[in-house]
Amino acid sequence: MDWKTLANALFPQGHDISEHENFLHGSATVNGAAVTIIGTTDHAPIGVEIALAQARAILATVRAHPGRAIVMLVDTQGQRLRHRDEMLGINSYMAHLGKCVDLARRRGHRVIGLVYDQALSGGFITSGLMADACYALPDATIRVMALPAMARITKVPEETLIELAKSNPVFAPGPENYLRMGGLQAIWDGDLAASLAAALSDAPSRDERSALGLARGGRKMAQPVIDAIVGSHHVRAA
């Protein structure tokens, strides 16, 4: 979905989001309160500059508008694959972005992520996956990498992965698989403005994704292993 179409649907009371080199930034009103919007568009590769631009906008919100909610609009092909980014330490830039999201949340800012087009790998770990809760549109694509590349690296035939992807949420790119595994809170199909307003008032304060993955049947081992370690007992099969 085009980001302007999306923004108009999410913020019917108006917004002032602008785009600069695939970086989205602005503000809008939801439930009568101002929110900060940051994000990326056009399947942006996340390089050091756009990671910093997002972090700067978050820190500015924390500094100037304590408690103001933050909405992250996600459309990325993942981290930028360039020697320059690695030389400059792109993992530090992405960690910085993730830490800024975490800081905002701890200081009382609700942070909601929305995958409106594509989310891949490192670009997703430090944005939507760091939010209090992450959502997606039904047509969104979320994955670590495409199945052909995955087949090449894992040396598992692509036909096998395609077949497995039908029954196992671990391999398939659709948002419903991330929903089953607890990585997404919900998929928004309907009134986007109402969905966002509800998400902002219901944001969980703790990371409950492994419990959601167990309850929804998409990740059956993670929560039992966590429970066994925290409770100092043997792993109880789901």
Q: Is position 177 an interface residue for other proteins (rule: CB under 8 A)?
A: yes
State the minimum distance, in angstroms, from the CB of residue 132 to other proteins.
Answer: 10
Q: Does 220 bind other proteins (CB under 8 A)?
A: yes
What sign has the CA pseudo-torsion 200, 204, 209, 212?
negative
Instruction: Locate all alpha helices (DSSP H) within 115-205, ordered by sequence.
Output: 121-125, 147-154, 158-167, 175-180, 192-202
For position 130 contacting other proteins by CB under 8 A, the verdict is yes
**Contact call for residue 4 and other proteins (CB under 8 A):** no
Q: How far is CA 225 from CA 4, 37, 105, 145, 170, in A?
A: 43, 36, 26, 26, 18
Give the nearer residue to other proteins in terms of CB position, either 7 or 51: 51
Give 28 or 50: the residue with its C-beta nearer to other proteins. Answer: 50
Angle among Cα 196, 39, 144 to the nearest 5 degrees reads 95
Give Cβ neighbours of residue 37 (< 8 Å, ≥ 6 apart): 7, 11, 15, 17, 24, 25, 26, 27, 28, 70, 71, 72, 73
Shortest CB 20 distance to other proteins, Å: 16
Shortest distance, position 44 Cβ to other proteins, whole Å: 15
Question: Would you say 42 or 49 has its CB closer to other proteins?
Answer: 49
Q: Choose between 116 and 178: whose C-beta lies nearer to other proteins.
A: 178
- The piece of 6-14, 29-37, 189-197, 212-220 that touches other proteins (CB under 8 A) is 212-220
Q: Which of residues 58-117 bind other proteins (CB under 8 A)?
A: 59, 62-63, 79, 81-96, 98-100, 102-103, 106-107
